Structure 1
Amino acid sequence: MGAKFLKKGDPQPPPVEAGKLRLYSMLYCPYAQRARLVLAAKGVPFEMVDINLKNKPEWYSKVHPETKVPALEMGSGEVVVESLDISDYLDRKFPEPPLWSADQDKNLHHKQLLETVGKAFPLYRKFFRAITSQELDEAVSSIAAVIQPLENELSKTGSKFFGGARPGMLDYMIWPWAERIEGLRTMHPDVKLPLQDFPRLLAWGAAMKQDPAVKASLMSGEAHASFIKKIVDGSLDYDKL
């Protein structure tokens, strides 16, 4: 990808100009991608600074006390951290197009779905670290059980997206992991996935890939698989990404 990942010893970027936004990110991080998706959906220009998460710059703790990504810094000096908080902040600050619904009951339901599906995220790690066929099958079954409510929701509403006719906040918040499924499939092409059980989600995924905001950050399954393999075998070198 040719990204420059700032590391220990690299100087801190100059202060953010008034009225501007800077996103501290990491190109392959699904949580940082959430923020990038929302910024793209809103059409908001921003500066992106990629952080080397294995060898973080000394000054980054002043931006984010836990030195995680993402972090959104404004020209006012204000910093918002955590992907969901950043996404909510951007939806309030840049209301068009709205990503949360005007229907608060629907929003509450989508937040509950997001919390439920959040249990699948750690299972991705189990999947790409699995070695035996039994471990892979167990990981697949666990992920399928957790994402079943998403399939049920699309079946119930009959909508193309969780947001309705166009993607909403729930769509963008879960997309990074849907995208990384392609990487897992690339790593384990022989693993049997229960795709027949998720026709609505498959159609949703195909539709999401046509969304301009998704296209702006979309990476191939091969790219994700390569990154994951380097994490697993300990060969990850940010200078060569």
Structure 2
Amino acid sequence: MTAILYSFRRCPYAMRARMALIVSGQQVELREILLRDKPDSMLALSPKGTVPVLALPGGEVIDESLDIMRWALRLHDPEGWLEGDDAALIAANDGSFKQHLDRYKYAARYGSDPLEHRAAGMAWLGELEAHLKSRAFLCGGRRTLADMAIFPFVRQFAAADQAWFDAQAVPRVQTWLRGLIGSALFDRAMTRRAAWQSGDAAVFL
């Protein structure tokens, strides 16, 4: 049997899980879902209903993206991503930055002031700019887990108003982000797939 990943292409949590699974060389069946029509088989595995969800052949279910990344990389880590597992930096991204990102990008949904949250998000990107002052990536001279866990969210922040973001004084963050978005790994992870339906032939990541 093969592991099965339930995923949604545009979700940054799912993006980072897919990239780790790809780089580690895991054979995984990919089931692209629609968030408005989540399959019962996924909800049976993880009732919280968020992606990604990885179902392993032995019955174990991993439904947190960082746990999926670390699981895959512990099996095979050809680029040494785990050497850059900066838990504090990733927690800041997944915590306060993600909150500001949501309230900037989806201000109508949250009833928030988008400019206030954009400014708060930029303050954190200033911290990333400082991290990149003397190195190309967040933990050194090559991409590692911290980069791959964080950049999908920075990409989403930038895309909310790309022209505005491009005009900001964070040149190292902008260069770092462009390089990761332009990588062959990200291109493969973002391959478009039709939404999975029960009975479909298996599609692999």
1:195 paired residue number: 168
Paired with 1:138 and 1:144, the residues of 2 have a C-alpha distance of 10
Show CA shifts across 1:41-99 (max 9, x none): 22333211122322322332321132221111222222211001111111111232321
Equivalent runs, 1:41-80 vs 2, <5 Å: 41-80=23-62
Gaps of 5+ in 2: 197-205
Change over 3 Å in CA distance of 1:172–1:192 after alignment to 2 = closer
The answer as to 2:10 corresponding to 1:28 is: yes
> Once structures 1 and 2 are overlaid, which stretch shifts more, 38-47 or 20-29?
38-47
Show CA shifts across 1:18-57 (max 9, x none): xx22111112211111111112222333211122322322
The SS at the match of 2:48 is coil
1:91 paired residue number: 73
Equivalent runs, 1:3-42 vs 2, <5 Å: 17=1, 20-42=2-24
Paired with 2:46 and 2:107, the residues of 1 have a C-alpha distance of 32
Q: For residue 144 of structure 1, report the CA deviation from its aligned partner.
A: 0.9
1:9 paired residue number: none
* Candidates 210, 215, 223, aligned match of 2:182: 210
Change over 3 Å in CA distance of 1:204–1:92 after alignment to 2 = same
Q: How much identity, in percent, do the aligned residues show?
A: 24
The SS at the match of 2:132 is helix
Paired with 1:207 and 1:56, the residues of 2 have a C-alpha distance of 33
Paired with 2:27 and 2:45, the residues of 1 have a C-alpha distance of 20
Change over 3 Å in CA distance of 1:161–1:61 after alignment to 2 = same
Change over 3 Å in CA distance of 1:206–1:56 after alignment to 2 = closer
2:202 paired residue number: none
The answer as to 2:85 corresponding to 1:115 is: no
Contact 1:123 1:143 survives alignment (8 Å): yes
TM-score by length of 2: 0.80
The SS at the match of 2:19 is helix
The one-letter amino acid paired with 1:164 is G
Q: For residue 194 of structure 1, report the CA deviation from its aligned partner.
A: 6.0
Contact 2:15 2:190 survives alignment (8 Å): no
Paired with 1:52 and 1:203, the residues of 2 have a C-alpha distance of 32
Paired with 2:22 and 2:143, the residues of 1 have a C-alpha distance of 12
Paired with 2:171 and 2:179, the residues of 1 have a C-alpha distance of 12
Show CA shifts across 1:122-155 (max 9, x none): 2222212347xx9332122110112222111111
TM-score by length of 1: 0.69
The one-letter amino acid paired with 1:146 is W
The one-letter amino acid paired with 1:181 is F
The one-letter amino acid paired with 1:202 is Q
The one of the two structures with greater contact order (alpha-carbon pairs below 8 A, sep at least 6) is 2
The one-letter amino acid paired with 2:181 is K
Q: For residue 218 of structure 1, report the CA deviation from its aligned partner.
A: 4.5
State the Cα RMSD in Å.
2.5
* Candidates 101, 117, 130, aligned match of 1:152: 130
Paired with 1:218 and 1:81, the residues of 2 have a C-alpha distance of 20
The SS at the match of 2:59 is coil
Structure 1 stretches of 4+ with a deviation exceeding 3 A read 191-194
* Candidates 86, 110, 113, aligned match of 1:135: 113
Equivalent runs, 1:156-171 vs 2, <5 Å: 158-171=134-147
Q: How many residues align?
A: 189
Gaps of 5+ in 1: 1-16, 220-237
